[in-house]
Amino acid sequence: MKHCARTAGRCGRCEGQLPFEFTMAFQPIIDLETARTTTFEALVRGPNGESAWSILSQVTGELLYRFDQACRVRAIEMASALQMQERLSINFLPNAVYEPAACIQATLEVSQRVGWPADKIVFEFTETERVTDQAHLKHIIDSYRNMGYTTALDDFGNGFANLDLLTVLEPDKLKIDRQLVMGCDQDRRRQALLKALHSLASEMKLELIAEGVETREEALWLARAGIMRQQGFFYARPALASLGKDIGPLLREIRQAI
């Protein structure tokens, strides 16, 4: 991987037009303890609502930096235009960040332009390939924290995003993968794992979020097990270029049923 000469400024390889169009859809992350939405995750979509894969499959190694930067800018611009009051969660590609101070410049510029504060941004990262340089990833997370951002380890319990990362990395949030969540109201093995994760997160002072909640039964079991922060189709599907429907009544109803 070549480093940019201007390590204190914007990464030149991140500039330029992408050869494809994309937009963002927003999905709420909710807190049943307060019955409100705390965060919206920005998810890549095609310009006409095509799947994330239809876009990600076009991202070559040469486009990686540029795409990562463009996603951050697009997410912040759209969240501001939608007058979002909640936090904004943005996925980033660790392999696209060679030096945090340089690669954060576009984020800083758009945040300043639209008036979006750093403490309202959560950077999510996931490892679909085994981390070969954990020290570098830790450097990114530590740098973002020092800049006022929050970080979340996504897809925990799937692929390579597992316990070994927590021995080195210090994210603020832990997002449980759908594979551990689905059918948790009936599966005793999943229940045991989820209870252990809740205890682990409490001990390590990590905010725990269950992803992929698709049924009322899953939502209630998770909440009764202490996992109050959740995300999934049960609450709302990602809304293209909007913040979606008002889910306040659903949250209050579930809160009363816990």
Domain boundary assignment for the chain: 18-176+228-257
Supply the pLDDT for residue 95. Answer: 77
The CATH number assigned to the domain with range 18-176+228-257 reads 3.20.20.450
User: What is the 3 state secondary structure string of the chain?
Assistant: CCCCCCCCCCCHHHCCCCCCCCEEEEEEEEECCCCEEEEEEEEEECCCCCCHHHHHCCCCHHHHHHHHHHHHHHHHHHHHHCCCCCEEEEECCHHHCCCHHHHCHHHHHHHHHHCCCHHHEEEEECCCCCCCCHHHHHHHHHHHHHCCCEEEEEEECECCECHHHHCCCCCCEEEECHHHHCCCCCCHHHHHHHHHHHHHHHHHCCEEEECCCCCHHHHHHHHHCCCCEECCCCCCCCEECCCCCCCHHHHHHHHHHC
Work out the pLDDT band at 9, boundaries 50, 70, 90.
very low
Supply the pLDDT for residue 4. Answer: 40
Work out the pLDDT band at 161, boundaries 50, 70, 90.
low
Comparing 2 with 242, the larger pLDDT belongs to 242
pLDDT tens, residue by residue, 168-215: 889 999 999 999 999 999 999 999 999 999 999 999 999 999 999 999
35 pLDDT above the threshold of 50: yes
Supply the pLDDT for residue 128. Answer: 56
